[in-house]
Structure 1
Amino acid sequence: MSDSLHGKVVLVTGASSGIGEATALALSKAGARLAVGARRADRLAGLAGRAPGEVLTLDLDVADEASCRAAVAAAVEHYGALDGLVNNAGVMLSGPIAGADTSEWTTMVRTNLLGTMFTTHAALPHLLRSKGTVVQISSTSGRVASAGGGVYSATKFGVNAFSEALRQEVTAQGVRVVVVEPGFVATELTSHISDPAMRAMARRMADSMRTLRPEDVAGAVLYALAQPGHVAVNEILVRPTDQTV
């Protein structure tokens, strides 16, 4: 890893666990100055205690546009700039469409899709000034939809579409847009599924393969962020070797 991230200011959402936590720690080890946001403030405090570099912890609910704007503003006020944004916050509430609790659909759309849009919109003026980078944590579900995952996939397809349109709008101004699409990762994401059959299926899938670790995805994020300014790695698809779709 080069020292290209040393001193850069990066905001990571959903940093209280999983991919977000691993990415924040990896960035800190690479010398970045961090702002980390999530709803679970106690976990962020623990993260800050383990990171070797400077970490600003932020109370952030990406489903709330005002919270997104406040988090970005706080990061810029504290550090004086913003060089990178990693939109990682997300939820996966899988289940069949028939008979679904549609409030879970609203939660996924507001968190996964609108949350990414809100935070990107708030950060963009600062990233345009710094010629920075936006990293969107999407999913293989943003490429292939499957039964029981229709709404989750819809949000991730939406993230991919939003990101490509954004890339076309800002790439000539020096802002890079990166979409990282992980396959099955060993995180607590599936534990939030309320449908018992879908939760059991997710456990069986995890047991059937050598899943990715959050650190594997963090490595992909760092790879993209550490490229020289004239190099844009716009898309990284990373699956477990054992995952077929």
Structure 2
Amino acid sequence: MRGTRGMKVTKGGSAGRLDGQVAVVTGAARGVGELLARKLSARGAKVALVGLEADELKAVAGRLHTECAHWYADVTDDAAMARVAREAGERFGRVDIVVANAGVAAGGPVDGSDPDAWRRVIEVNLIGGAVTARAFLPALRRSHGYFLQIASLAAIVPAPMMSAYCASKSGAEAFAHCLRAEVAHQGVRVGVGYLSWTDTDMVRGADRETVLRELRQRLPWPANRTYPPGPAVDRIVAGIERRAPHVYAQWWLRGTQPVRGYLPGVIARGAGRELRRFGPRLAEMGQGLVGAGGAADEAARGRRAAGGAHGA
């Protein structure tokens, strides 16, 4: 799991507020993680990329503006992430920012769901964030750095057909709040990032399930929209620059916080009516992880089962 090295000079952009800082991004091979790595690099940060798609990570590294390295690692593997943290520290000399972005999703009713896929969502989204934090906390204490846990609107809104994802993101949110209280006196700041439906492989993969797509489209505005990743990631980067405790990738998400206590009852009343309409279509839903990232996770687990993963 050795990082690959590549020194770059800034291309076509001025140094930003993150000039010279070192940022670690998990789930960096695609989607929000890939774009976040590029935008952090454009603001002057050196970037350590972590993920399960070696070729994609190498391609992302080639698009960055600053010094970078990449590691093939499973965020749920304590030993692997401890090694990444040690090697990233050796490679860059310090770590200032860690973004726990890696995530997978599965949809469908709990009854009849694939128990392995359901469990894997919890492992990656919740346990993976905790493993990442544990591995990098020594470095963040030394730098008085910042840990950002990427959560979701799913942490606030208990959506039917998304029990594993909502549970994992609610847990990740709670974990980050607990961690913030534990490490504040050590000079480490902790934030939670919230995103609504953002145009990534994960959301597009979920939309291939017609039930999930139709349920989302019937949500009230603005929760029924899919948002472009560029402005969302710009907001995340701005939150990182401020070391913000809460980062909202879409402007309206902040307004859900005061009413979140009422949402479970409201959603339960409306969901029963909607789900009766789908009837037998619910049993026909796929049971695996969705999107290209989900496929990559399943492939990596298959390789480990067949004899172990190989580092990039």
TM-score under structure 1 length normalisation: 0.89
Q: How far off is 1:217 after superposition?
A: 2.7
Structure 1 residue ranges, 4+ long, deviating more than 4 angstroms after superposition: 191-195, 197-200, 202-206
What is the Cα deviation at residue 236 of structure 1? Answer: 2.1
Q: Tell me what 2:248 maps to.
A: 237
**Structure 2 residue 241 is matched with structure 1 residue 226:** yes
Residue 213 and residue 238 in structure 1: after superposition, are their counterparts in 2 closer, same or farther (change >3 A)?
Answer: same
Mapped to 2, the partners of 1:174 and 1:157 lie a distance apart of 25
* Partner in structure 1 of residue 259 of structure 2: none
* Cα distance change, pair 241–226 in 1 and its aligned pair in 2 (3 A): closer
Q: Which residue of 1 aligns with 2:292?
A: none
C-alpha separation in 1, matches of 2:85 and 2:108:
33
The structure with the largest alpha-carbon Rg is 2
Matched, 1:26 2:39: yes
Q: Secondary structure at the match of 2:164?
A: helix
The corresponding residue for 2:228 is: 213
Distance 2:104 2:207 in 1: 12
Q: Secondary structure at the match of 2:148?
A: strand
Residue 178 of structure 1 deviates from its aligned partner by 0.9
Aligned residue for 1:65? 78
Does structure 1 retain, via aligned residues, the 8 Å contact 2:233–2:249?
A: no
Distance in 1, Cα, partners of 2:251 & 2:197: 7
The size of the alignment, in residue pairs, is 240
Q: Tell me if structure 2 keeps the 8 A contact 1:140–1:237.
A: no
Q: 2:295 corresponds to which residue? A: none
Matched to 1:233, the amino acid is A
Instruction: Give distance in 2, aligned partners of 1:9 and 1:182.
Output: 24
Whether the 8 Å CA contact 1:13–1:36 is kept in 2: the answer is yes
- The percentage of counterpart residues that share the same residue type is 33
Quick one: structure 1 residues 241 and 144, their matched pair in 2 at CA, closer, same or farther if it must change by over 3 Å?
closer
Superposition deviation, residue 3 in structure 1: 3.1
1:101 aligns with 2:114: yes
**Partner SS for 1:36:** strand
TM-score by length of 2: 0.71
Write the deviation string for residues 72-131 of structure 1: whole angstroms up to 9, x where unpaired: 122111011110100000001111111111111111111000000001000001101100
Contact 2:193 2:247 in 1 (8 A): yes
Of 124, 130, 155, which residue of structure 2 is paired with 1:111?
Answer: 124
User: Unpaired segments of 5 or more residues in structure 2?
Assistant: 1-13, 257-262, 264-312
The 3-state SS of whatever aligns with 2:232 is helix
Structure 1: gaps (5+ residues): none
**Which of 56, 61, 85 is the matching residue for 1:43?**
56
Q: Which moved more, 1:184-193 or 1:232-241?
A: 232-241
String of CA shifts for 1:28-56, please: whole Å, max 9, x gaps. Answer: 00000010011001111111111111110
2:200 to 175, 187, 204: 187
